[in-house]
């Protein structure tokens, strides 16, 4: 086995811990990524794990399986390729009350919130077997919880938080987002709502997104320890650079700028409006555009926001026909059709741009009219297309990944991408382009060619694409920053102790220690 590091650690053997959060978007995903990056740099063979993820941001693994995008990012932090073992259960919401269930990378059906609960015992076996295999193959596994462990209405059949921690005997660190306010109440209340056996595994806390002088926080940290008997293992500062690869589209403001726009290299900006569909999937597709100097990317939810846009993007959707209906109901469909500049559709957004959609699978709506900006017909099939294709587009080599039920049944358009065998993918007509490929904009040379195409159709002759933006490098730099923040602001010795020895014995029980039975 490899050494655990240079600051007092021993040797890890089947070590694991769980990072839970007081709320969704508290910082679990980034903390796990940071811990993974730190451990990997220390020479530890480490892997990420999220038993159950609920997200429409997903990627395709090398073997053709589907997992949450956050686990792919965490894998990169470990220096690993994505694997279905890192996220054995993925729920992809298609509406307020139903989700598609993906198990070990493959869709196995649709469930409601209530019907899903009946399947959890079976899924727990899959989860534990998968985690056990990772613990056999790696020195350390850093697990990420889902939502909050204090969702007491779901505790009885939980497979992602304390249910997992109890079954696998995992020490737990709870992270809270101080930027929301009330972080001490969140941390204390989360612990206090857990029953005594769950509390026994909660070994400490982490405060995330702190702005200001840490000395001002010290009295609260000391009092929290006095109240709970558990330390705060660190206070992670707010860093505005950490915006790539959001765990879910809910992390984005409904009408807000993505990223931190840099000044243009030429004398004009290129303004990009991304329609924030209700059931948006893979919202991260447009983040590569937001890394470009002079490109301002914002999500929009109503027609007036398209009035001054140069480029309009229709992103992916987990419910294409339903989101198309929403476009029409809000007036955004008319605004997209009336837009006289470039339009890009990605996956579900591409399908909406076509002439007709025949969907007996997802919405079961049959044949519905698309927006008619491309002469393309799409038909949905029960089996999902998953892949990591390669080709050329705008004269540049490109890669991407596909996750879709709908495929092109007929096209009278030129292709956007040419595959190695000469077949076409997507569509291109004048100022309108569409593709089923996610990740296409992450190809640097293609992205620069695409921006020149978009600026030309938008009449933005003063816009100049930067020649040196390295999107993969940006992502790697973010992971390095997360690893640096862990080293600089967390008690890494305490984290290693948890990995090696588990939660300390004799931690105090904090009342009310679980909910009393309801008669």
Provide the annotated active-site residues: 347, 438
Cα–Cα nearest to 201, from 149, 278, 125 = 149
| Long-range contacts of the stretch 511-514 (C-beta < 8 A, 24+) | 511/192, 512/192, 512/193, 513/192, 513/194, 513/195, 513/196, 513/199, 514/152, 514/193, 514/194, 514/195, 514/196, 514/198
**Phi and psi (nearest 5°) for 172?**
-125, 135
Tokens of 507: 């931690």
Do residues 316 and 280 lie in contact, with contact meaning Cβ atoms separated by under 8 Å?
A: yes
Tokens of 376: 């393309």
Run of H or E including 399: strand 396-399
Tokens of 349: 């957004």
Tokens of 169: 């005997």
Query: If DSSP codes are grouped into helix, strand and coil, which group holds residue 367?
Result: strand
Q: How far is CA 39 from the centre of its chain?
A: 22
Say how far apart CA 414 and CA 391 lie, in whole Å: 15
Do residues 425 and 436 lie in contact, with contact meaning Cβ atoms separated by under 8 Å?
A: yes
């Amino acid at each position: 086995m490899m050494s655990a590091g240079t600051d007092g650690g021993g040797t890890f053997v089947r070590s694991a811990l769980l990072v839970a959060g007081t709320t969704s978007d508290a910082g679990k995903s980034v903390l796990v990524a940071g811990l993974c990056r730190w451990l990997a740099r220390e020479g530890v063979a480490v892997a990420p794990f999220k038993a159950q993820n609920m997200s429409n941001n997903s990627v395709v693994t090398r073997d053709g399986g589907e997992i949450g995008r956050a686990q792919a990012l965490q894998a990169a932090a470990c220096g690993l390729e994505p694997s279905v073992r890192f996220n054995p259960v993925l729920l992809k919401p298609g509406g307020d009350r139903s989700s598609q269930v993906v198990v070990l990378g493959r869709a196995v059906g649709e469930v409601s919130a209530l019907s899903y609960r009946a399947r959890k015992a079976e899924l727990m076996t899959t989860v534990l077997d998968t985690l056990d295999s990772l613990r056999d193959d790696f020195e350390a596994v850093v697990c990420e919880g889902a939502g909050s462990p204090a969702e007491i209405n779901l505790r009885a059949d939980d497979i992602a938080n304390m249910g997992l921690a109890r079954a696998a005997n995992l020490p737990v660190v709870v992270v809270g987002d101080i930027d929301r306010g009330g972080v001490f109440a969140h941390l204390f209340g989360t612990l206090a709502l857990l029953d005594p056996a769950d509390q026994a595994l909660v070994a400490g806390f982490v405060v995330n997104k702190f702005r200001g002088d840490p000395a001002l926080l010290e009295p609260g940290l000391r009092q929290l320890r006095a109240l709970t008997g558990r330390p705060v293992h660190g206070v992670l500062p707010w860093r505005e650079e950490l915006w790539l690869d959001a765990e879910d589209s809910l992390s984005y403001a409904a009408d807000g700028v993505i990223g931190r726009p840099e000044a243009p290299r030429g004398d004009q900006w290129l303004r990009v409006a991304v329609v924030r569909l209700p059931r948006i999937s893979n919202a991260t597709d447009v983040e590569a555009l937001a890394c470009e100097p002079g490109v301002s990317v914002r999500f929009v939810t109503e027609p007036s926001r398209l009035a001054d846009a140069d480029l309009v993007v229709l992103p992916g959707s987990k419910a294409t026909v339903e989101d198309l209906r929403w476009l029409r109901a809000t007036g955004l469909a008319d605004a997209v059709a009336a837009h006289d500049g470039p339009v890009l559709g990605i996956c579900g957004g591409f399908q909406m741009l076509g002439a007709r959609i025949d969907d007996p699978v997802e919405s079961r709506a049959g044949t519905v009219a698309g927006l008619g900006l491309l002469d393309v017909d799409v038909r949905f099939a029960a089996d999902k297309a998953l892949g990591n294709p390669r080709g050329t587009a705008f004269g540049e080599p490109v890669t991407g990944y596909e996750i879709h039920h709908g495929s092109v049944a007929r096209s009278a358009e030129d292709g956007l991408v040419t595959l190695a065998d000469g077949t076409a993918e997507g569509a291109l007509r004048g100022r309108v382009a569409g593709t089923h490929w996610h990740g296409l904009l992450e190809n640097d040379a293609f992205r620069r060619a695409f921006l020149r195409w978009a600026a030309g159709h938008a009449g933005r002759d003063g816009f100049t694409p930067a020649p040196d933006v390295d999107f993969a490098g940006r992502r790697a730099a973010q992971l390095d920053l997360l690893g640096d923040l862990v080293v600089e602001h967390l008690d890494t010795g305490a984290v290693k102790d948890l990995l090696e020895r588990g939660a300390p014995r004799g931690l105090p029980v904090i009342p009310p220690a679980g909910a009393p039975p309801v008669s």
